[in-house]
Structure 1
Amino acid sequence: MQTLNDFLVLIDSYIGSAVWFPYALLGTGLFFTIYLGFPQLRYFGHALKVVRGKFDKHGDEGDASHFQALATALSGTVGTGNIGGVALAVYIGGPAALFWMLVTAFFGMTTKFVEVTLSHKYREKTADGTMAGGPMYYMKNRLNMKWLAAIFAVATILSSFGTGNMPQINNISNALFSTFGIKQWISGLVLAIILAMVILGGIRRIVKVTEKLVPTMAILYFLGALAVILYNYENIIPSFISIFEDVFTGTAATGGFVGATFSYAFIRGVGRGLFSNEAGQGSAPIAHAAAKAHEPVSEGMVAILEPFIDTIVICTLTGLVLLSSGVWKEKHQNTFQPTDLEVLATVFDENDTTRRNQVYRHLVGKEALPLYTGSVDVEEGRISGDVTIIHARSFAEDVTVYQAGTPYTGALTVDNGRIQGMGTTFIIQGKSLIHSAPLTAEAFKHGYFGRYGEYIVTIGLLLFAFSTAISWSYYGDRATTYLFGSKYVMHYRVVYILGFFFASFADTTVIWTLAGITIALMTIPNLAGILFLHKEMKSTVKNYWIDFKKDWPNEKTPE
């Protein structure tokens, strides 16, 4: 598993985690924001009216209402990115990473507007009578780049597993195990059966589920987050300040957090922002293509609301919960994961500033420290020898090795910093920083609900992540239809359900790495495509307002 993760990290380093990727993403959003005159601000009020159905016309073609399409798209974006993704960004990049998530969302509102409008414009009706759309259709029908459309469709299928399937159930199963002690495979099996019952019914059953699920889970999570933020009211202002004060410098060491550079905060913040709201990825247009509309721009208006709700509202709430509670920089008792652990070949004292800085530079890739290879002795679970255990980018404390549920005595084999047999023969526990959903769950305990706050995260994660898995099955479904035809959709759905089950007990680090790769594989061709069509986008919006004023002469417009 470690070898696989290292290989995936290498691939990701050239695309999703490469220095150029966040600039391409933000640059596209910035370009369209200026080119179209800040539509995310000027059209926001109009978008609220559209989603309420105020301008609907009888006979509009589609399989879902504006609200149902928005709910389905939101259910695809409001998931582990809002709970685990924010925590992962802060864990790696510090509070400044949250700032870059918000910047990504602001420009992402325009990117969503553009990609949904263009994709909706070139949607098609399939043989079974349902609508099919997405970037692959404007790539084929407008750009005449069938090869690019095929690349995007293949990437969508891969991303349906890497984004909507595997990370979602993995976070659900780990949260249920941590909170209620339910074994991961049991959670995976039960939820895979429920998932099958929903997605086998197609888009009409999916939208009926998501339109009820999304508002319920949003209200539940909002109330739980407020209970933490208001309980720690004295930390609200300092938390806001911390988001902005280290934006261009990186976050200094504090507590168990060894520090983060600007690069880490920027790249991880933008990356997690994209994983959260998917602006530019090209996934949301697939859901919006099913909406009933007589022209495309109105559905693009609806899409403006997605990054605002998903990232600016929900992710900000999660970020303030993490920062105001202080848990992001504290060490917690947890079970160590192999891919998060390193054994350094000498002793480093965390309280020694010089030695701590050496480890910090090692973790951010500035100065590689020697990793231990050889054997270490273990007595009653305690490791001895001149080594330092680093877990989750922090100095591990109270490390205990277990075998078959009891403290182990004997020797451990270490190869290039990795403990052999970890996670299978040996279970290692101790205190260290934690990340992803477990960190958010810990933060929710520091509020008015006390330890019961963890249940809010667990239930919220269950609803958020499960709804994401539902929506992404539809995205992969449409991509499969585009590539191979409707008759192969059932094959895809079966594989999707099986992958959902097996990912419930896989290593989380590998899954998050895979998710980053598949996101980039969708985003790159989509960004290129909408940039090619920037002039058409502007003319399409202009014509929309001309027609709108004819149909609704008494309605005020932002134009």
Structure 2
Amino acid sequence: MENFTAINTTINELVWGWPLLVLILGSGIYLTIRTDFISFTKFGYAMKQTLFKMFKKDQVGEGEVTAFQAVSTALAAAVGTGNIAGVGTAIAIGGPGAIFWMWLAAVFGMATKFGEVVLSIEYREKTDKGHFVGGPMYYLDKGANKKWLGVLFAIFGTVATFGIGNMVQSNSVAASLKSTFDIDPIVTGIVLMIGVGLVTLGGIKKIGKVTSVLVPLMAAVYIVGGMIIIILNIELVPGAFGIIFRDAFTGTAATGGFVGSTMAMTIRFGIARGVFTNEAGLGSAPIAHAAATTDHPVRQGLWGIFEVFVDTLVLCTITALVIVMTGVWETGLDGAALTTVAFDEGMPFGGHIVTFGLVFFAFSTLLGWSYYGERCMEYLFGPKSIIIYRLIFLPLIVVGSVGGLRVIWAIADTLNGLMALPNLIGLLLLSPVIARLTKEYFGKDGIYESEQTES
């Protein structure tokens, strides 16, 4: 096991080295420019079309689920332990300054996620049974004419679901319930496995219905709890922001139980954890968006902007502020344990909010990633292979619940990077298509202009 861990750590260092980090940020900046800075200039319009229309059911266009059900499935997969444990890990290793780089990655990641969703709708296919399928494997294959890259992504995506979307989640939940309520991890794993199995058997329609209720509920509870702590300690907020911005460009000196970090570590863990939380650039979310009912790729792409905003700039920021302003980041704790102590420090029974968030965030992530894995498996081996995938995916939930967090997390990090590579290449190759569809929607006589005229 020690040799395996050492080998995986070396591979992880290579995958998440500076070339990939530059590629992720660079792709986001490039796509922001190619789309005329859509995440800035059309941010208000994006919120109007998403946040204020999330429960609208009478939508125009083709699809299996509503736009909100599709984004709920994507958010269910993205809003997971990364928002709780991932932020804690970023701060514990990279210092408070890592949050600044997480924000930066998210700001440009909005355009990346927008582009992914646009392409997923543009190149999606309808199966003989009337299901809509899409994602990087399809736009790499049909759009970029790089089938080998599509196959590569599907292989990485299938295997990655067993780490980032499975064992990492069940492990975090089991550890949290064990420490809070002394529940045996294997019991947690079995309950999670049964719950996920019952929902996923119903396909994207059942997953969409469950996540469209679960995601708003769990996000609301976590946001309200975090905001109460922030408001009760409002005088500490300016100082917390000051520490984040200062340490972003200097690294953090050793303090208390904190071992210190260099600026390079701060940047690396900020960007890496940012991608882990919102998945912009990974290519996972477009798989869910491909099933959405919409009349134009760009309209669904606006949900990609919304997705990154809620995931990182809202949820992760709340977690980060609570950790920094309470000062517990100097204790030497890590991951979910750090976040739990921070919430407990901020208000009575605050740790229970973290436990609640972990359980439901992780459960929703298991649902979303199981769907991603099924679609990747289907692309590689056909519809019948989905049964085989489920027979592997579901038992691994139990395995993850009793596994070692560090090993599982490291594997998930590595697979994150491997998924991102073919997807980012595809986004850059197809950036002219993204730009064309954006101009088509927002240009003269486009849908945007007609809506403005009507209003």
**TM class by shorter-chain length?**
over 0.9
Task: State the distance in 2 between where 1:73 and 1:65 align.
Answer: 13
Matching of residues 97-108 of structure 1 within 5 Å: 97-108=98-109
Match of 1:477 in 2: 374
1:49 aligns with 2:48: yes
CA 1:286–1:26: 2 relative to 1, 3 Å: same
Q: Deviations over 1:292-311 (max 9, x none)?
A: 01221111111111111000
Q: How far off is 1:200 after superposition?
A: 1.2
1:436 aligns with 2:335: yes
1:548 aligns with 2:447: yes
Q: How far off is 1:183 after superposition?
A: 1.0
Amino acid at match of 2:13: S
Match of 1:461 in 2: 358
Q: Deviations over 1:37-69 (max 9, x none)?
A: 211022222223333179987662111111111
Match of 2:396 in 1: 499
Match of 2:137 in 1: 136
Amino acid at match of 2:337: P
Q: Secondary structure at the match of 2:84?
A: helix
CA contact (8 A) 1:122 1:141 kept: yes
Match of 2:426 in 1: 529
Amino acid at match of 2:4: L
> Between Structure 1 and Structure 2, which shows a larger proportion of strand residues?
1
Matching of residues 20-31 of structure 1 within 5 Å: 20-31=19-30
CA contact (8 A) 1:4 1:510 kept: no
CA contact (8 A) 2:70 2:289 kept: yes
CA 1:181–1:62: 2 relative to 1, 3 Å: same
Matching of residues 228-239 of structure 1 within 5 Å: 228-239=229-240
Match of 1:257 in 2: 258
Task: State the distance in 1 between where 2:259 and 2:410 align.
Answer: 22
Q: Secondary structure at the match of 2:248?
A: coil
Q: Secondary structure at the match of 1:281?
A: coil
Matching of residues 85-234 of structure 1 within 5 Å: 85-234=86-235
CA contact (8 A) 2:155 2:376 kept: yes
Which runs of 5 or more residues in structure 2 are unaligned?
none
CA 1:91–1:555: 2 relative to 1, 3 Å: farther
| TM-score (normalised: structure 1) | 0.78
Moved over 4 A (4+): 53-59
Q: How far off is 1:467 after superposition?
A: 0.2
Q: How far off is 1:542 after superposition?
A: 1.2
Q: Deviations over 1:302-341 (max 9, x none)?
A: 11111110000100000001001111112xxxxxxxxxxx
CA 1:314–1:59: 2 relative to 1, 3 Å: closer
Amino acid at match of 1:299: Q
Q: How far off is 1:247 after superposition?
A: 1.5
Amino acid at match of 1:65: T
CA contact (8 A) 2:59 2:66 kept: no
CA 1:253–1:150: 2 relative to 1, 3 Å: same
Q: How far off is 1:555 after superposition?
A: 4.4
Q: Deviations over 1:18-42 (max 9, x none)?
A: 1222111001101111222211022
| TM-score (normalised: structure 2) | 0.96
Q: How far off is 1:234 after superposition?
A: 3.2
Q: How far off is 1:228 after superposition?
A: 2.5
The size of the alignment, in residue pairs, is 451
Matching of residues 217-366 of structure 1 within 5 Å: 217-330=218-331
Which runs of 5 or more residues in structure 1 are unaligned?
331-432
Q: Deviations over 1:476-529 (max 9, x none)?
A: 111111111111111111211111111001000001101111111110111111
Aligned pair partner of 2:416 in 519, 532, 535: 519
Task: State the distance in 2 between where 1:463 and 1:53 align.
Answer: 20
Q: Deviations over 1:251-293 (max 9, x none)?
A: 1121111210001000000000000000011011011101001
CA contact (8 A) 2:55 2:68 kept: no
Query: What's the Cα RMSD here?
Result: 1.6
Q: Deviations over 1:144-197 (max 9, x none)?
A: 111110000011111111211111110000000000000111100111111110
CA contact (8 A) 2:322 2:346 kept: no
CA contact (8 A) 1:228 1:325 kept: no
Match of 2:37 in 1: 38
CA contact (8 A) 2:59 2:294 kept: no
Task: State the distance in 1 between where 2:47 and 2:232 align.
Answer: 32
CA contact (8 A) 2:124 2:132 kept: yes
CA contact (8 A) 1:5 1:509 kept: no
CA 1:131–1:499: 2 relative to 1, 3 Å: same
CA contact (8 A) 1:86 1:315 kept: yes
Task: State the distance in 2 between where 1:461 and 1:58 align.
Answer: 33
Q: Which moved more, 1:55-64 or 1:98-107?
A: 55-64
CA contact (8 A) 2:64 2:132 kept: yes
CA 1:60–1:24: 2 relative to 1, 3 Å: same
Q: Secondary structure at the match of 1:552?
A: helix
Task: State the distance in 1 between where 2:191 and 2:324 align.
Answer: 34
Larger C-alpha radius of gyration, 1 or 2? 1
CA contact (8 A) 2:57 2:66 kept: no
Task: State the distance in 2 between where 1:193 and 1:56 align.
Answer: 30
CA 1:469–1:453: 2 relative to 1, 3 Å: same
Match of 1:3 in 2: 3
Task: State the distance in 2 between where 1:94 and 1:171 align.
Answer: 21
Amino acid at match of 1:454: G
CA 1:12–1:447: 2 relative to 1, 3 Å: same
CA contact (8 A) 1:90 1:98 kept: yes
Match of 1:333 in 2: none
Amino acid at match of 1:14: L
CA 1:550–1:249: 2 relative to 1, 3 Å: closer
Task: State the distance in 2 between where 1:283 and 1:185 align.
Answer: 28
Task: State the distance in 2 between where 1:14 and 1:495 align.
Answer: 28
